[in-house]
């Protein structure tokens, strides 16, 4: 699979607009989500490495195709935005940390070289409180523990917990 085909598989999240009438996210929350959405590199076939999120049944899994970035040191990020307006970041192997309404408190889930991952199951979403969540998986190629938006490659999707 070439990088263009792989990027075509990235699940694009169509964020609702503040005037969409979505009762779950208010305008301020949507603005916070759009900040992440607009921060990273454009998702094109040139956007390599290619991080992906997959939900298989109730298991959330990540995959990564590092392409020419193979072996390059990076910060790996997994964050979630909740319907009550809080950000959470994931610490591998199984901890979610609530950082409130400001994403600047997030820490990387992992720091290390970019490697090919066909599928790595991280956690089961069963038991989440009902509502909408936006989950992001990304890597930034400056391994410094800071979310470097100018070097961020990511994918995202919206999870609706019953």
On the question of pLDDT at 17 being above 80, the answer is no
Residue 98 or residue 21, greater confidence: 98
DSSP label of 70: T
* Angle ∠(149,136,113) on CA atoms, nearest 5: 65
DSSP output for 82-119: ETTS-EEEEETTTEEEE-TT-GGG---SEEEE---EEE
Least confident piece of the model among 35-39, 95-99, 101-105: 35-39
Nearest to 37 by CA among 14, 21, 18, 8: 14
On the question of pLDDT at 32 being above 60, the answer is no
Do residues 24 and 82 touch, judged by C-beta distance below 8 A? no
Q: Report the pLDDT averaged over residues 74-88.
A: 94
Q: How confident is the model at residue 78 (pLDDT cuts 50, 70, 90)?
A: very high
Residue 31 or residue 157, greater confidence: 157
| Start-to-end C-alpha separation, the chain | 35
Secondary structure (3-state) at 41: coil
On the question of pLDDT at 41 being above 70, the answer is no
Residue 55 or residue 137, greater confidence: 137
On the question of pLDDT at 23 being above 80, the answer is no
Residue 97 or residue 23, greater confidence: 97
> With pLDDT > 90 as the criterion, what percentage of the chain qualifies?
40
Domain positions in the chain: 3-161
CA dihedral over 69, 75, 76, 82, signed as positive or negative: negative
Give the tokens for residue 55: 């939900």
Q: So what's the pLDDT on residue 22? A: 46
Average pLDDT, the chain: 77
């Amino acid at each position: 699979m070439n990088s263009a085909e792989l990027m075509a598989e990235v699940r694009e999240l169509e964020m609702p607009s503040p005037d969409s009438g979505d009762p779950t996210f208010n305008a301020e929350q949507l603005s916070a989500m759009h900040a992440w959405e607009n921060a990273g590199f454009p998702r094109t076939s040139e956007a390599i490495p290619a991080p992906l999120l997959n939900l298989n049944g109730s298991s959330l899994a990540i995959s990564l195709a590092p392409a020419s970035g193979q072996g390059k040191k990076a910060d790996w990020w997994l964050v979630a935005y909740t319907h009550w307006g809080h950000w959470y970041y994931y610490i591998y192997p199984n901890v979610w940390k609530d950082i409130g309404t400001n994403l600047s408190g997030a820490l990387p889930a992992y720091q290390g070289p970019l490697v090919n991952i066909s599928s790595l199951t991280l956690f089961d979403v069963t038991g989440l409180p009902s509502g909408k969540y936006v989950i992001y998986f990304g890597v930034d190629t400056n391994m410094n523990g800071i979310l470097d938006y100018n070097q961020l490659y990511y994918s995202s999707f919206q999870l609706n917990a019953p």
